[in-house]
Amino acid sequence: MKRLVPYIAVLICAGCGYLGYLGTIKVVYHHQRATWFNSLGEPDAQQLRETGPALLGLGLSSLLIQNTKASLQHNVSSLGEIRGQAPRDLWPILDLRLAKDYAVMARLEQASDSAVAASHRQMAAALLNSLGWKDVSDNAVAAVADKQLAARFKE
C-alpha cells in the first residue's frame, strides 16, 4: 500500500484538477456572461445578452452549406430550437431563414415527391406572407429557393 500512495496521489490530483477545471469554466463563464454589456445600463445590456445567442446561432447556421434534404431538415429543427429560446422580436428573422429552407426543400423534393414539395412550398409561402412579403406565389417561392441554392453553391 505504501508504495502505491504516490501513484494514487497523482491520480487524485489529476482527477480533482480536471473537475476543478470544468467546474471553474462553467461558473466563471456564466458569471462573466451575466456582466456582458453592463456599461450600457441594465435594460439594454440584458436585451443584448438575450438577443446575442439567437443571432449568433442564426449567423453560424447561415455559414454552413445546406443543400441536401437531410441537412436542411436538421437546420430547420435547430432553427426551431433557437426560435423557442429567442426573444419574440427576433422571430421574424428566424422565420425568414425557415421560409428559405422550406423553399429550398420544396425545390429539391419537386422531382421525387410532389406532394411533400407542395406542402413545403405552402409552409414557405405562409411564413413569407407573415413577414409581409408582397409576392408569395409559387414562382416567388421558387425564386427564393433558386437564389438560396445559387448562393450556397457559390460558397
Partner 1 sequence: MTRAAKTTFIAAAAVGLVLGGVLGGREAAQASQAMQSAEVLSASSVTSDFARQQFEYADTDHARRAVQLQISVLEKLEGLTHDRLYRGELGYAYTRLGMIEQSAGQPEAEQRAIAQARTWFGQNFGHEISDDQMRTGLKLLDQGADRL
What track of x and - describes contact with partner 1 for positions 38 through 77 (by CB under 8 A)? -xx---x--xx--xxx-xx-xxx-x---------------
Is position 22 an interface residue for partner 1 (rule: CB under 8 A)?
A: yes
Q: How many CB atoms lie within 10 A of CB 103?
A: 28
CB 58 within 8 A of CB 98: no
CB 70 within 8 A of CB 104: no
- In this chain, which of 76, 118, 131, 149 binds partner 1, going by CB under 8 A? 131
- In this chain, which of 68, 73, 80, 151 binds partner 1, going by CB under 8 A? 151
Please identify, among the stretches 35-43, 67-75, 102-110, 115-123, the one whose residues bind partner 1 according to the rule CB under 8 A.
Answer: 35-43
> What is the torsional sign of CA 147, 105, 108, 129?
negative
C-alpha cell at 106: 420544396
Is position 87 an interface residue for partner 1 (rule: CB under 8 A)?
A: no
